[in-house]
Each structure stands twice: as C-alpha cells, then as structure tokens.
A and B are shown apart, each in its own frame.
Chain A
C-alpha cells in the first residue's frame, strides 16, 4: 500500500519533470531561431527614431540608479543626438524600458520600449509624456514626479526611467565623464 502511494508520487514528479524538460528544450530551440541581439536592436532603434547614424555605444555597461537604470547610451556620429535606452523599475508588470533622445541637452523625443504594463495607453491619453518633452536636463531634474490616475505604477516607472537618464546626463555627459 505504502509502495503504491510512493510510486504514484514518483510518477507525478517524473511526468511533471519530463514535461518541464521537454518544454525547456523546445523553448531553447525557439530562442536560437528568434534571438535578437539587444545591443544591435538598440542601435537600430536609435537610428530609426532619430534618423541619424550610430556607429558605437558610448556606454554599453550602463548605470544603476535608485528608481531606474541606464541600459545603453550612445552619441550619434554627427554629435547632435544623445540617445538613451533606460528602464524604470516598479511598474505593474516589472521594468518599463524608455528610449530618450536629447538634441544637445534638450529632450526632443521619448518612446516607450519593452514593458509588461496593461494600462500604459492611459499615459498617452493623458498626454503624460508632454511634461518631459522640449525641456532641458536642468528643468527635467527639478521636475516633480506626477502620476496619472489609474496607471500610478506605470507612471512611476516612466518617471524612474527618465530620472535615470537625466541623472546620467548630469553626472557623466555634462560633466564630460563618458567613455567616448
């Protein structure tokens, strides 16, 4: 009786483990087929969004801050654009990636990247991104952290992503401490 019960438990474990293993192998195979190099993807996106060309990343290592992190930072070949890929933490579905493009020190463009948010469209409806656009780094650093009702966590994550870029810009780009 005890043996039968033990066998049943073992059968459950073995079957579940075998299914999980097959699932892992299948996903590994698909990962090889569909793999996208994040660095190349960032280059392509920077070039597509600004219309400028980017030959190399000024910073491939990035920088971690309290509410977000800078993933990649690059300067366009003509030196006009400072492009950032940042991620703000604390979103409803984890990190929210944001592409930020500064012409000189003025934020000209902001695009949302990968995220797991379900209410991100509310930010667009509330023109949330307009509060950042056209502003200088010094203005952005003194900007309060307003949020949109109904998408509080998503707003905080975007604030964190913009804050990380601004902090990086202030500390390393304006200060001339880049890897260029």
Chain B
C-alpha cells in the first residue's frame, strides 16, 4: 500500500478537499440539518455510512459495470445503502428519525456521494475507495458539527442540548438565512487557516532546499 497515497486520501477528504468547506458540495443538508449539533452529527454519520459502502461496492464492481449504465448502477447501489440507514434509524432511533426523515431519504441525491463514486471509486481499488468514503464522510460530519455548534449556540443558547447559562437564544438565528451566514463565515475561516498552513509549509520547504551552487546549506 502506497503510504503517500494513503495519507493523501485521508487528509484530502478531511482537510484539503473537504466536501463542505472546500468543494462546497451537499449544501442542502448543510443548511437544513445543522440547527442542532445532534441532528448535524446524525446526518454526518448517516452520510458517512452511505459514502463508505457505496464507494466500496462501486469500486468492487468497477470492472463489471458497463460504462453506459454506470450512473443507474451507482444510483441503485447508493439508494440501497440509504434505505438501509432509514430502516436502521427508524427501528433503533425513532425520535431522531422523526425529526430528519425527509433529509435521510434525500441522501440519495447528495452530490458528494455520486461525485466520489464517479470521480474516485470508479477508478481506484476498494480499500482506497472505502478510505476515501470514510475521510470524505468524516470531513462532512466535522463541518456539519462545527456549523451545528454555532447555530445551536446562537439560536438556542445551548450546546448539544444543554442550555448555557447567561446566553439567551437569539431571535431569528434558527432561520436558514443565519445558517448561510454561519456557513459562509466558517468556510472563510477554514480556508484562511488552510491557506496559512499551506504557505507556512511552503516556506519551510523553500528554506530546506539547498542553495544554488551550495553544498546543502539552508537559507536563513
């Protein structure tokens, strides 16, 4: 297993190609399912499950599926896992399912899943594909949770369902418009931090390069 590719796959979904903050995919559940941390976390986990298994099966079947029917095949695979998530949630988490059932069904049309199946799983081995699904899913979950924390804090003066004393709920903060504002601010912050880290890394790399004509000396 190529260690560099492994690292790239894992870090790609979490940070560099974060589906929410960098690729800006799956905006619908990002706004609709981040009013509370619990909903955001559940939505993220459900999507992660679907991503891992749809990527795994698309990758396993990539040499069998004819090119002309690949999209219908991917959709059948994705919808199978979405229905499994629905069945499991309905049976074991009925209260949570009741609040987010329409959006669980809509995972089928979440563009992150079809995009990863088409662009990654269809041309990579199963293990990398499953890992890509896990990494993308966790990246998505993390982003939803961050937005969920901010929205729940402002809209309900609470964290994970527990009221924070001294922080009253802000009227209108539960609205979708505030969700977009929170999403935009966090996206800007995330990309700012990533860019800073990248440029610092680049400076360090430049500093470690040998001087032209020198014998491995580093720049001051």
Contact = CB atoms under 8 A, between A and B. Distances in A.
Interface in B85-101: 87-88, 90-92, 98, 101
B87 A34 contact: yes
A117 B102 CA distance: 6
A1 interface: no
Interface residues of B, number: 26
Given A23-B80, A34-B87, A15 B102 contact: no
A126 interface: no
A8 B101 contact: no
A171 to B, nearest CB: 30
A26 B84 contact: yes
Contacts of B101: 114-116
Interface residues of A, number: 25
Nearest to B66: A12
Contacts of A26: 80, 84
Contacts of B92: 34
A116 B98 CA distance: 10
Interface of A: 8, 11-12, 15-16, 19-20, 23, 26-27, 30-31, 33-36, 93, 112-118, 120
6 contacts: A15-B73, A16-B69, A23-B80, A34-B92, A116-B101, A118-B106
Given A36-B90, A93-B105, 16 more contacts: A8-B68, A12-B69, A15-B64, A15-B73, A19-B65, A23-B80, A26-B80, A27-B80, A33-B91, A34-B92, A114-B101, A115-B101, A116-B101, A116-B102, A116-B105, A118-B106
